[in-house]
């Protein structure tokens, strides 16, 4: 049987599919079976040489190859079976005949019975026993098979028509066939059946090959046309008798049938076909999977790298369908249920691999969609970084486009015909987009609030600075008016802008309350910032009151001016400002509140405090020091005026007479004249501007700094020369003097 597969491969039989027929021949030994087959199908089976005696030529079962002259050019496998009633087989002939008959019947669709004309009517010589075996085996097979009929073609050899017509012989044979069928022990389902239900009987006759050689060859040629020419009226190889074993599985099927027969097991032909189908379909499925893996691996590598594959669904559908087609072609020739089951396994295997790739691809698609969402959303926002006025419209449009983009691309990734879906991934994307929208909305709302706050700050900055830099009795009433006006202005603008964000009333109330708090905080922060310059403002105010007269001109202290009274009035008028800057007086009832006079904080909201009591005390102390300095300088200036006013006239005349030479020397010397003019001019300007006090303090400070620097330098030099502080280093010991105190000197002192 191993040679069968080799021969079939040599004949390129594996690709024939179902386009082939199997013809087998049974008959007595040396009855001319091989010769007849060679003439009918052009085979080359060994034949007996009559000159050497009547001996066995064909042993076992031989297979030949032929082609039919038909549109499909069907292949014909010809089985030449060892002859019956063999002397060589002896007592074992019956067992072997049963095996070969069973094998031939299982594989063939046309069974030729070659019999001699003069053996008709005999039991053994007429192959009645052999045909009884064929009937019994046929019933055994048909109990479990699909019930395809087998053609039994009786070829009556050495027929002499004029002695016994063929129809007469046909009647005798059919009578024997029906008689055999009646005597068979049939299964219940076939108890009333007839032989014609399982077989189609055909008859033909051939004359003697030697005595009527010309007619013999003519009749053989006519019979040959019935086998190989589909145009013949009595064409035998009809499609409804075609075998149901695919060509690529025929060799394996034959091997399994023969192995089963050799082991004397009951021949369950359908089971054998199913086993063949399982084996072959497994092979075909593996070939299809290999093809699938080969084509899908490049895509899988891209997906595993995290890359997105365009038109994934179209590509994998083509690969998937190609693999199925690769399977369906050869597998469709085998047992339908087995082929369908293996096809389902193939589909499931490919589907699982592709579904894993699809799932990974969807995650990449989610990333791409989110990137596109962020990009498109950002591009729609104002380029100057300000808050958008169309947040809801942008959100709806970009979200819709993003989900549509995901949906279209996800559909393009689907395997056509598969029950895949991406609802879970779509929900995941929607959740992430909603979170992104929430973050973007909060960011835009913060920008909007910051813009309103910044606009509010700009609206109050200059007017507030002006009011606080030049404070008066109406300062806080004007600040209140400014605060309310600006807050309401941007409060209305904020309410209008919030409508574009589709937020509910509760969220809107929170945002508005937050904005009101920010306005209050901004005002307080601005007031605190200006309060840092309160010392300067108070000094400036005191300067105006103390050093300026009613015409706002610098005051020149006269000998009779009451400096103490003017000083107290100026200080009291300036000290009032400190109370004004202590708290935010956003309500009229707080205008008269004395924060500095109350030690308790329970009667005032701490959030209103601008300057604490401790800070106010520090500012007051500094102001007092500056004011005291101004007072002392004014007193010194007044004393100078008094002193200058009491110089006697003779002193002035004496100074002129005694200093005349020096005056002439100065006038005649350009350098001294310019120097004296510069010094005199500077003194005059300082006197006119009443800057004597500040200049004096500056000179004193300069002298003090210079003396301190000299002292530090001397100390450093003495330390470098190891001279103890408080002693004077003597040049040498010989020059040393007695340093003890002299009582007499002390007493003299």
Strand partners, 64: 78
DSSP per-residue codes, 195-224: GGGTEEEEEEEE--TTTTHHHHHHHHHHHH
Q: Are 314 and 375 in contact (CB under 8 A)?
A: no
DSSP reduced 3-state for 483: helix
Give the pLDDT confidence of 314-327 residue by residue, as tens digits. 999 999 999 999 99
Phi-psi region of 722 (alpha: psi -120 to 50; beta: other; left: phi over 0): left
> Rounded to an integer, what distance in angstroms lies between the CA atom of residue 280 and that of residue 717?
114
Q: Where are the alpha helices (DSSP H) in 111-268?
A: 128-142, 166-183, 213-228, 250-262
Return the closest-CA partner of residue 252 out of 616, 5, 613, 82. 5
Residues 6+ apart with CB under 8 A from 37: 25, 43, 45, 64, 78, 80
546-579 pLDDT tens trace:
888 777 788 888 778 888 898 898 888 888 888 8
Q: Confirm if 316 and 357 have CB atoms less than 8 A apart.
A: yes
| pLDDT tens column, 63-78 | 888 876 666 667 888 8
CB distance 519 to 483 below 8 Å? yes
Asked if 490 contacts 456 with a C-beta cutoff of 8 angstroms, the reply is yes
Q: What pairing do the DSSP bridges indicate for beta strands 61-67 and 20-27? A: unpaired
CA–CA distance, 87 with 531 (Å, rounded to integer): 138
What pLDDT is attached to residue 264? 61
User: Max alpha carbon distance in the chain (Å)?
Assistant: 201
Question: What is the rounded CA–CA span in Å between residue 93 and residue 247?
Answer: 31
Predicted local distance difference test score (pLDDT) of residue 734: 37
Q: pTM for the complete prediction?
A: 0.53
pLDDT for 144 beyond 60: no
**pLDDT per position as a tens digit, 329-384:** 888 877 888 889 899 999 999 999 999 999 999 999 999 999 999 999 999 888 88
Over range 707-713, report the average pLDDT. Answer: 70
| φ, ψ for residue 88, nearest 5 deg | -65, -35
37 vs 142, higher pLDDT: 37
Give the residue among 139, 146, 107 at the shortest CA–CA distance from 26: 107
pLDDT of 491-516, one tens digit each? 888 888 888 888 888 888 888 889 88
Rounded to whole angstroms, the Cα distance separating 619 from 542 reads 14
């Amino acid at each position: 049987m191993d040679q069968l597969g080799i021969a079939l491969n040599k004949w390129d039989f594996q690709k024939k599919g179902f386009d082939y027929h199997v013809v087998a021949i049974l008959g007595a030994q040396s009855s001319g079976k091989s010769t007849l087959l060679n003439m009918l199908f052009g085979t080359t089976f060994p034949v007996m040489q009559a000159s050497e005696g009547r001996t066995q030529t064909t042993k076992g079962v031989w297979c030949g190859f032929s082609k039919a002259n038909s549109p499909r050019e069907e292949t014909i496998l010809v089985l030449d079976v060892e002859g019956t009633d063999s002397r060589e087989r002896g007592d074992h002939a019956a067992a072997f005949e049963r095996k070969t008959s069973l094998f031939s019947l299982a594989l063939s669709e046309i069974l030729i019975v070659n019999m001699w004309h003069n053996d008709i009517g005999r039991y053994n010589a007429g192959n009645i026993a052999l045909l009884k075996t064929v009937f019994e085996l046929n019933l055994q097979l048909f109990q479990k098979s699909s019930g395809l009929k087998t053609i039994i073609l009786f070829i009556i050899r050495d027929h002499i028509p004029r002695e016994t017509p063929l129809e007469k012989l046909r009647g005798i044979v059919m009578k024997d066939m029906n008689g055999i069928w009646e005597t068979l022990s049939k299964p219940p389902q076939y108890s009333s059946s007839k032989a014609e239900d399982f077989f189609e009987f055909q008859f033909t006759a051939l004359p003697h090959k030697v005595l009527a050689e010309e007619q013999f060859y003519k009749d053989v040629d006519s019979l040959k046309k019935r086998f190989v020419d589909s145009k013949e009226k009595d064409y035998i190889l009809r499609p409804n008798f075609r075998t149901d074993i695919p060509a690529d599985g025929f060799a394996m099927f034959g091997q399994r049938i023969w192995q089963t027969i050799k082991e004397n097991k009951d021949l369950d032909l359908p089971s054998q076909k199913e086993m063949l189908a399982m084996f072959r379909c497994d092979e075909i499925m593996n070939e299809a999977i290999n093809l699938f893996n080969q084509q899908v691996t490049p895509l899988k590598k891209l997906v595993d790298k995290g890359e997105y594959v365009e038109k994934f669904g179209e590509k994998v559908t083509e690969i998937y369908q190609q693999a199925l087609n690769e399977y369906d072609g050869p597998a469709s020739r085998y047992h339908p249920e087995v082929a369908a089951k293996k096809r389902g396994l193939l589909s499931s295997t490919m589907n699982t691999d592709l579904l894993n790739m699809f799932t990974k691809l969807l995650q990449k698609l989610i990333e791409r969609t989110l990137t596109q969402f962020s990009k498109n959303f950002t591009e729609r926002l104002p380029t100057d970084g300000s808050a958008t006025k169309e947040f809801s419209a942008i959100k709806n449009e970009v979200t819709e486009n993003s989900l549509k983009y995901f949906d279209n691309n996800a559909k393009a990734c689907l395997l056509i015909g598969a029950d895949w879906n991406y609802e879970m991934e779509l929900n995941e994307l929607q959740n992430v987009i909603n979170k992104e929208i929430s973050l973007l909305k909060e960011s835009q709302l913060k920008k909007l609030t910051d813009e309103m706050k910044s606009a509010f700050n700009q609206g109050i900055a200059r007017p507030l600075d002006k009011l606080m830099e030049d404070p008066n009795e109406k300062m806080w009433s004007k600040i209140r008016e400014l605060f309310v006006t600006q807050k309401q202005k941007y409060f209305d603008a904020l309410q209008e802008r919030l409508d574009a964000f589709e937020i509910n009333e509760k969220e809107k109330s929170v945002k508005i309350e937050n904005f009101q708090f920010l306005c209050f905080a901004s005002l307080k922060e601005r007031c605190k910032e200006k309060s840092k310059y309160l010392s300067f403002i108070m000094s400036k105010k005191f300067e105006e009151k103390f050093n300026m007269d009613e015409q706002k001109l610098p005051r020149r202290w006269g000998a009779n001016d009451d400096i103490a009274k003017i000083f107290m009035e100026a200080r009291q008028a300036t000290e009032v400002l400190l109370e004004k800057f202590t708290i935010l007086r956003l309500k009229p009832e707080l205008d008269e509140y004395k924060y500095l006079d109350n030690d308790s904080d329970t009667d005032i909201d701490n959030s209103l405090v601008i300057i604490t009591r401790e800070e106010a005390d520090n500012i007051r102390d500094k102001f007092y020091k500056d004011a005291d300095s101004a007072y002392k300088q004014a007193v010194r200036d007044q004393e100078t005026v008094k002193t200058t006013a009491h110089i006697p006239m003779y002193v002035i005349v004496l100074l002129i007479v005694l200093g005349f030479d020096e005056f002439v020397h100065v006038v005649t010397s350009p350098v001294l004249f310019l120097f004296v003019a510069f010094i005199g001019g500077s003194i005059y300007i300082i006197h006119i501007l009443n800057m004597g006090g500040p200049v004096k303090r500056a000179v004193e400070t300069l002298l003090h700094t210079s003396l301190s620097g000299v002292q530090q330098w001397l100390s450093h030099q003495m330390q470098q020369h190891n001279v103890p502080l408080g002693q004077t280093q003597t040049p040498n010991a010989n020059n040393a003097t007695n340093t003890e105190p002299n009582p007499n000197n002390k007493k003299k002192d």
